[in-house]
A and B are shown apart, each in its own frame.
Chain A
Amino acid sequence: MNGTRPLSVVLSLAAVLVVFLLVVWIGPSFNESLQLDETALIRFVFVGVGLLAVFVVYWFTRDNAAWEVGTREVVYMAIGAALYAVFSYLFNGTVFVVPSVSQVALRPAIAIPMFFGYAFGPVVGFFSGAVGNMFGDALTGFGLYPQWSVANGLVGMISGMIALYVDKKRAMDAVLYISAALAAVTTLIWILNPTLENLMFFDVDAGIFGDAAISTFAGLSAVVGFVLVVLIRLIFRENIDLAAAVTWAMLGNFIGIGFASISDIWVNGYSPSVAIVGEFLPAAGPNMIFAAILVPILIGAYNALQRQIGR
């Protein structure tokens, strides 16, 4: 397998950011539909931006064997997407009344695209996240939120990008630093805006419909998740694959959910601080806690299965 320099991925992400900014700044002068109030069109613009991000990352690393799709990958893509759809449907709070702790509801399904990305590569991770989210929304009847499907695909794909690197330890350290910076910046925004509402928290019995001020735990959840991931890194020092899987899942979660939350600045007209504090932190923070606990358990079970079947 050829190694890929971390610089190429950073350049790819920077290129996507530039395109994203161009759409926002120059787009309206070409097409008035790109004004902020055309929410439906903006949704599809962000789908295009997300897919472009995927393509750019692929293009810069296309020689890597991690992008190959054979029979095995096709089947795992389908399994990952179907499992993510089923678990999303079951744990979305409408089938099981899932408990919540300090405004954090249990939505463990996100561990599926993260695990499939790590175990079977970025293509399987992307398909599992994007198609699984689409079918999960369709099953639930939530309607279609295409930019969120792409965001879930990004979570799976980035979780699988570990396969692009030969020096997993070095790449993991870089990912850890980037994630630390993202956790710090988003938490700082919460510290500066502690009274904003948690848009992701619903408690019908208590009459709360996404309008309760964000709790301290939800506000700190990105930092809590980051600390958990660091602990896993330290505890499983000898098992570099497991630590790397959780670390890359964290970055995937930050970038994927961050992409969807930032898109809602234009789609739903949120202010940047509302998008970060009200949407990103209550979604991405708990996801990292699920990733830190469930992904290692899934990897352990999968390794045992591999030893058993010899493949």
Chain B
Amino acid sequence: MLVTWRYRDRKSLIQSFDPSAWIIFYTCFIVATIFFWDIRYLSFLLIIALVVVFTSKVTWGESRRAWLFIGGFVVFFAVLTFLTGRGGMEVYEEEHVITTLRAPFTLFGWRPALDITLERAMFGLSQMVRVFSMASVTILIPYTLNPAHYGISFRRLGLPDKIAYAMDLTMRFIPTFGRDFQLTMDAQRARGYEIEKLSGGLFSQVRKLAPLIVPVTIHAIAGSEDIIDAMDLRGFGIGPRTWLTELKFKRRDYALTVFGGVLLNALGG
């Protein structure tokens, strides 16, 4: 049985656009964000992301888990960047030290020290804004994009029928397999399997992951026979595909597409 994302019609700003227009805008937004490390440009992109989030009508209760995970992830990696400066070396060449923190202890005569520099601090902040902007618009996709429109949206973006339908099925299968994995893990735990307490050497540990990975994979392949039969019975792939839903670009969809293009060119170019 297919499990779906928590989509429902919310009459929100994001849902007022054609899904294809939204995917084009989303792609332009992500690429423009990838291009930049300058906090001024990133702040502008963050504002756009926040407008989208606050008008999405996705409640905190339904998306709390995703936000907490992303929040933790973003803060962790921003702190990591701040502490190590890793990844920033290609953006700045010299560092201005604000202060140096020294540990009150020594390890074999060596006293750990941490340089707090202006560049690292700004780079860490930029990374936080950057990743948060990308993640926040990404989180909304399963809540706001109608699963019935996945396939036709990818088709209208120019993908061939088969690839568009494969993308459609991929997005539909992800929550289903997530559920299957949870069920399998619960079943194995009932038999005494504990993933948190894998013991032994590397080879032994890898082998012990098989009771989770193999049942989920083989169950998915076995279950696919029904889907393949259903698609074959409906003549999938013997000619150009038609879709049950028809999507039409309205004026606002063209405007959003142009805005995405401008965003990409003005900032990225």
User: Which A positions have Cβ atoms within 8 angstroms of B?
Assistant: 37, 39-41, 43, 69-72, 74-79, 81-83, 85-87, 90, 94, 96-97, 99, 101-102, 104, 106, 108, 111-112, 115, 127, 131-132, 135, 138-144, 204, 209-211, 268-269, 289-290, 293-294, 297-298, 301-302, 305, 309, 311
Contact = CB atoms under 8 A, between A and B. Distances in A.
Interface stretch (B8-16, B55-63, B83-91, B243-251): B83-91
Contact of A309 (B73, B139, B222, B231): B222
Interface string B160-191: 00110111111111101110010000000000
B98 interface: no
Interface stretch (B44-52, B206-214, B253-261): B206-214
B35 interface: yes
Contacts of A81: 166, 170, 173
A116 to B, nearest CB: 9
A71 B231 contact: yes
Nearest to A306: B221
B90 A301 contact: no
B169 A294 contact: no
A87 B213 contact: yes
B148 interface: no
Chain A to chain B: the 4 pairs with minimum beta-carbon distance, closest first: A78-B169, A82-B173, A141-B135, A101-B202
Contacts of A144: 30, 34, 134
B240 interface: no
Contacts of B135: 141, 143
Contacts of A40: 31, 34-35, 268
A96 B195 contact: yes
With a 10 A CB-CB cut-off, give which of A79, A106, A309 has the most chain B CB atoms: A79
Nearest to B227: A75
Contacts of A135: 170-171, 174
Contacts of A289: 202-203, 206
A143 B170 contact: no
Given A131-B167, A211-B84, A90 B181 contact: yes
B142 to A, nearest CB: 9
A76 B138 contact: no
A140 B167 CA distance: 18
Given A79-B221, A82-B174, A211-B84, A294 B209 contact: yes
A268 B90 contact: yes
With a 10 A CB-CB cut-off, give which of A71, A97, A132, A294 has the most chain B CB atoms: A71
A39 B131 CA distance: 17
B221 A305 contact: yes
Nearest to A70: B237
Interface string B65-85: 000011001101000100110
B165 A74 contact: yes
A141 B70 contact: yes
A144 B108 CA distance: 42
B225 interface: yes
B220 interface: yes
Nearest to B33: A143
Contacts of A43: 34
B205 A83 contact: no
A140 B181 contact: no
25 contacts: A70-B237, A74-B231, A75-B166, A75-B231, A76-B221, A78-B172, A81-B170, A82-B173, A82-B177, A83-B220, A86-B177, A90-B181, A106-B198, A108-B213, A127-B166, A131-B166, A135-B174, A143-B131, A143-B135, A204-B76, A209-B80, A269-B89, A289-B202, A289-B203, A293-B207
B177 to A, nearest CB: 5
Contact of A139 (B174, B207, B232, B236): B174
Given A294-B206, A302-B221, A78 B173 contact: yes
A295 to B, nearest CB: 11
Nearest to B83: A209
Given A75-B231, A85-B174, A127-B166, A294 B210 contact: yes
B74 A141 contact: yes
B220 A101 contact: no
B138 A141 contact: yes
Nearest to B32: A40
Nearest to B198: A99
A29 B141 CA distance: 41
Contacts of A309: 222, 225
A283 to B, nearest CB: 15
With a 10 A CB-CB cut-off, give which of A41, A90, A127 has the most chain B CB atoms: A90
Nearest to A144: B30
B228 interface: yes
A293 B203 contact: yes
Given A69-B162, A106-B206, A301 B34 contact: no
Contact of A71 (B139, B198, B202, B228): B228
Contacts of B84: 209-211
Contacts of B128: none
Contacts of A83: 173, 177, 216-217, 220
B265 interface: no
B196 interface: yes
Contacts of B131: 141, 143
A75 B237 CA distance: 12
